[in-house]
Amino acid sequence: MNDEQLLRYSRQIMLPQIDIAGQQKLLDAKVLIVGAGGLGSPASMYLAAAGVGQITVYDDDQVDLTNLQRQIAHNTADIGLDKVISTQQTLEKINPGVKVLARKRHLAGEQLLAEVADADVVLDCSDNFATRFAINKACVDKQTPLVSGAAIRFEGQVSVFTPGLNDSPCYNCLYQSDGEELQNCARNGVIAPITGIVGSIQALETIKLLVGTGTTLTGRLLLLDGLSMEWHSMRLKKNPNCPSCGEK
Q: Are 218 and 160 within 8 A, CB to CB?
A: yes
Q: How far apart are CA 121 and CA 116, in angstroms?
A: 8
How far CA 97 is from CA of 2, 15, 43, 215, 217, in Å, comes to 11, 21, 17, 29, 29
Q: Are 94 and 45 within 8 A, CB to CB?
A: yes
Helix, strand and coil content of the chain, in percent to the nearest 5, comes to 40, 20, 40
Q: Are 17 and 209 within 8 A, CB to CB?
A: no
The 121-124 sheet, strands edge to edge:
99-103, 54-58, 30-34, 121-124, 146-152, 155-161, 220-225, 230-235
Secondary structure of 168-204 in HEC code, one letter for each residue = CCCHHHHCCCCCCCCCCHHHHCECHHHHHHHHHHHHH
Helix (H) or strand (E) holding 133: helix 129-142
- Catalytically active residues, by annotation: 185
